[in-house]
Structure 1
Amino acid sequence: METLTTKQKIFNSPVTTIILALLVFMAVVIAGQQITSKLLALTPLDKDYRSLLKGLLVSAMCVYSYILFFKKYEKREVTEFASKEFIKNILLGIFVGFTLQALTILVIYLNGSYSVIAVNPVSFILIPLALMFTVAIIEEILVRGILFRIVEEKLGSYISLLISGVTFWILHLINPHSTFLSGLCITAAGFLFGAAYMYKRNLWFPIAIHFAWNFTQSGIFGAITSGNEKTNSLLEAKIQGSEFITGGAFGPEGSIQAVVFCFVGTFILLALCHRENKIVKPYWR
Structure 2
Amino acid sequence: MNNKNITRKILHFPLTKIIVGISIIVGLFALSKNLLGKIFQTNLLSNDLINLIVNIISSILTIVAYIYLYKYYEKRKITEFSTNGIAKNLSLGILLGAVAQSLTILVIYFAGEYSIVSVNPILYILPALGMAFSSAIFEEILLRGILFRIVEEKLGSYIALFISALIFGLLHLLNPNSSLIAGIGLAIQAGLLLGAAYIYSRNLWFPIAIHFAWNFTQTAIYGANVSGNALSKTLITSRISGSEWFTGGQFGPEGSIQATVFGLLASVFLLFLSHKKGNIVKPYWKTTITS
TM-score scaled by length of structure 2: 0.96
1:55, distance to aligned residue in structure 2 (A):
1.2
The aligned residue for residue 91 of structure 1 is 91
* Residue deviations 1:196-218 (CA, integer Å, cap 9, x gap): 00000110100000010111100
Q: Contact (CA 8 Å) 1:199, 1:273: kept in 2 or not?
A: yes
Which amino acid in the other structure matches residue 174 of structure 1? L
The aligned residue for residue 50 of structure 2 is 50
The aligned residue for residue 251 of structure 1 is 252
1:231, distance to aligned residue in structure 2 (A):
4.0
Against the structure 1 CA distance between its residues 52 and 267, is the aligned structure 2 distance closer, same or farther, given a 3 Å change threshold?
same
Structure 1 window deviating more from structure 2 (80-89 vs 202-211): it is: 80-89
Structure 1 window deviating more from structure 2 (137-146 vs 222-231): it is: 222-231
The aligned residue for residue 263 of structure 2 is 262
Q: How far apart in 2 are the matches of 1:128 and 1:225?
A: 10
Could you say what secondary structure the match of 1:236 adopts?
strand
Q: Contact (CA 8 Å) 1:181, 1:255: kept in 2 or not?
A: no
The aligned residue for residue 277 of structure 2 is 276
1:95, distance to aligned residue in structure 2 (A):
0.2
Identity of aligned residues (%): 49
Work out whether 1:207 is the aligned partner of 2:208.
yes
User: Counterparts of 1:14-29 in structure 2 under 5 Å?
Assistant: 14-29=14-29
Structure 1 window deviating more from structure 2 (239-248 vs 120-129): it is: 239-248
1:43, distance to aligned residue in structure 2 (A):
6.1
Unaligned runs of 5+ in 2: 287-291
Q: Cα RMSD over matched residues?
A: 1.1
Q: Contact (CA 8 Å) 1:181, 1:259: kept in 2 or not?
A: no
Q: Contact (CA 8 Å) 2:28, 2:62: kept in 1 or not?
A: yes
Q: How far apart in 1 are the matches of 2:180 and 2:91?
A: 32
Could you say what secondary structure the match of 2:284 adopts?
coil
* Residue deviations 1:176-213 (CA, integer Å, cap 9, x gap): 22234311221011110000000001101000000101
The aligned residue for residue 289 of structure 2 is none
Q: How far apart in 1 are the matches of 2:80 and 2:201?
A: 9
* Residue deviations 1:109-148 (CA, integer Å, cap 9, x gap): 0110001111111100011001111001000000000000
The aligned residue for residue 238 of structure 1 is 239
Q: How far apart in 2 are the matches of 1:46 and 1:235?
A: 20
Q: Contact (CA 8 Å) 1:181, 1:256: kept in 2 or not?
A: no
Q: How far apart in 1 are the matches of 2:278 and 2:15?
A: 27
Which amino acid in the other structure matches residue 251 of structure 1? G
Unaligned runs of 5+ in 1: none
Work out whether 1:170 is the aligned partner of 2:170.
yes
TM-score scaled by length of structure 1: 0.98
The aligned residue for residue 184 of structure 1 is 184
Could you say what secondary structure the match of 2:238 adopts?
strand
Q: Contact (CA 8 Å) 2:226, 2:253: kept in 1 or not?
A: yes
Which amino acid in the other structure matches residue 184 of structure 1? I
The aligned residue for residue 133 of structure 1 is 133
Work out whether 1:161 is the aligned partner of 2:161.
yes
Could you say what secondary structure the match of 1:44 adopts?
coil
Q: How far apart in 2 are the matches of 1:244 and 1:22?
A: 33
Q: How far apart in 1 are the matches of 2:195 and 2:84?
A: 20
Q: Contact (CA 8 Å) 1:184, 1:259: kept in 2 or not?
A: no
Could you say what secondary structure the match of 2:285 adopts?
coil
Q: How far apart in 2 are the matches of 1:39 and 1:127?
A: 19
Q: How far apart in 2 are the matches of 1:265 and 1:280?
A: 20
Could you say what secondary structure the match of 1:284 adopts?
helix
